[in-house]
Structure 1
Amino acid sequence: MNSPSIDLEPNISKRHFSPIGLLEKLEHTTARVSVLDKPYLDSPNSFYWAIKTSGKGRSSGLDGIPVEYYQLFPDKWAQVYKLVYASQLKRARAYISLLYKKGDWPLPGNYWPLTLLNHDAKFGPKFLSYRPRSIHPKLLHPYHNSIYSAHANSLPGFAAICYTRWSNGCWDCAIGLAKAFDSVMWPALDLILQHYGLGETFCSSVRTFYIGNIVTESVNGTASNYFELGCGPQSPRHTFAFADDWTGILKHLRHTRKFVTAVGDYVESAGLTLNADKYCTLFSGAG
């Protein structure tokens, strides 16, 4: 289920991306995931670390098993999840319950999503977020990698603010983004992941968030007709691929407009939009 976005709602059916235009932007990048790194992206060890590093005292509901239970035997549970996820992925099957909170019954945002075991639905997205961290330094500039590490759970979307500052002999021009998850074009994301060579196994795991999600609702034992979800999971933390801002390292302040234009060209190719109503430019520091 995905929460509705007021900003995107009027134009949601008009959005598209340009595969050719996006590839033209990406062809200037030379970094790729190496043959040695690909096996790690598909390794089961990240199940272990997803369980081991999950915050204690957190749960998606009151009727499930807390994460501390899994953390008693993280190595054993990692093996269990490896088998369970492989089986469910092969069958293209998953189960989830929606617990009504309040408000209008037909609105998906008025329900809490629950699974039989609270954390089993969280570990999969978490390890997809965890796995690429080891290859970030090989794909990104060191400065941008440090920014990415702080925002590894969000995706690019609407521009909220642009600011420039003088730092270490050059100008930083950062464009912050909002409505990141709601505005991502999943086919464009898939194209980018393939371009950087993340591998078919890893990409297919990501596709389970948005391709062919045929579901049915059962209320008091009565099942509804099957329907297809239009987007991936509700929370931006269930994704992993892009930071929610761009930072350009500029030699001179006059290059700011050129950088902002380049970002605009990219998001247009990727099917995103820079929201002019939320856009402003701030200057700080001295050069």
Structure 2
Amino acid sequence: MCVYIYIYIYIYIFGLGIRNEAGQRLIEFCQENALVITNTLFQQHKRRLYTWTSPDGQHQNKIDYILCSQRCRSSIQSAKTRPGADCGLDHELLIAKFRLKLKKVGKTTRPFRYDLNQIPYDYTVELRNRFKGLDLIDRVPDELWNEVRDIVQETGIKTIPIEKKCKKAKWLSGEALQIAVKRREAKSKGEKKRYKHLNAEFQRIARRDKKAFFGDHCKEIEENDRMGKTRDLFKKIRDTKGTFHAKMSSIKDRNGMDLTEAEDIKKRWQEYTEELYKKDLHDQDNHDGVITDLEPDILECEVKWALESITTNKASGGDGIPVELFQILKDDAVKVLHSICQHIWKTQQWPQDWKRSVFIPIPKKGNVKECSNYHTIALISHASKVMLKILQARLQQYMNRELPDVQVGFRKGRGTRDQIANIRSIIEKAREFQKNIYFCFIDYAKAFDCVDHNKLWKILKEMGIPDHLICLLRNLYAGQEATVRTGHGTTDWFQIGKSTSRLYIFTLFI
């Protein structure tokens, strides 16, 4: 009760005019929510109190307010209007000055991105020269890849410029800004007629500039659409309309309590992801790890095909090396990657970097404070995609023999759109002949995240897939590590035991 009286007294003493019914409702709202009306706390001259002026300039009232929590009352230093501010409205600019003691937040390190449109010739020359000095014979895959990775990273940082974020274009023209200056001068001198005329002129020119600005953007969007430049098309759309990004400022723990500290948030994400991909303790993998009966060796033409077929302009994995840094080297990169892939093929041992994933939480529907309401997108090393594409191509011939013709999705040349067209045709025929029709839709929760690896190896064995290929897959998924990249930095690396995100062999379970 004392709190309410305290707020009521401060509102009543330094207000302006007679309080009406709306003002009384505002006071009641503040009492119920323990709020303070800041621009009634300080004694000011009348010209610092009113927030609205009638069109004829004869009446001034206070109808705009800044509210804050009562616990922040001591942080408010002043609250007043600035009648001379050039807002172009009949309302005055209301300003509150406050001072807060905030906790120092450490700067999070974001992975930088190379400007891949400006890869200099110096990069290719230096990297080719350094690749010539590599010993590619009889090397451990992990050791060879680490040396290649370090060479590419050092050369890239030294020679390739970092991608800079483009500044947002301003649509107000110089003519509009000059009129805005004249309008401000007219207002400060009290020239009401001239101010009114300049304000109308400013609004007219501003509307014209805005229309022209967005018109030019739309023309660029249409041109990109006509030319088939999908990447530029959607980039221009995002720049024009802006994109909302849900901020991960806080997250709930397993008991529903809010976590706001950076370290607590990272630990919660690690805890959630570890639990999601945790392997069953009773389901151990007893694989010995090496097969002596090998499939035919990998050819350089396979490596070249795999490298060229990898999609560009994609986020890189934990090593920070985009595939474009290899593709620009052409045959020199093919030779080095072929050597790494061939060593993996013979030893069935993968570089640890190629078994690591960086999870990016992407919010979906629902409360963004719940970890379960996020997609976890996995970023893997682009270099590992070369070996994965070769391995997937070798597996594909066996899988195509087993999968039925009606199976679509995750298969080349068989999309779900064809099935949608078939369903529509069935519905039309059923309505024509007045027949009942029943559809069953099954949604597998966390489908790619909950595949039992041992059952998968058993299915592959029953399908007649060679032991060598199965061994490569088992060793790829054994000892996988991951980290979660949050808005507060990345978590520690941790083991994961369930995931088929690297290859689309999940279709075997459907």
TM-score bin, normalised by smaller chain? 0.3 to 0.5
Q: Which structure would you say has the larger Rg?
A: 2
Which structure ranks higher in relative contact order (CA pairs < 8 Å, sequence separation ≥ 6)? 1
TM-score (ref. length: structure 2): 0.29
Compare the two structures and name the one with the higher strand fraction: 1
Compare the two structures and name the one with the higher helix fraction: 2
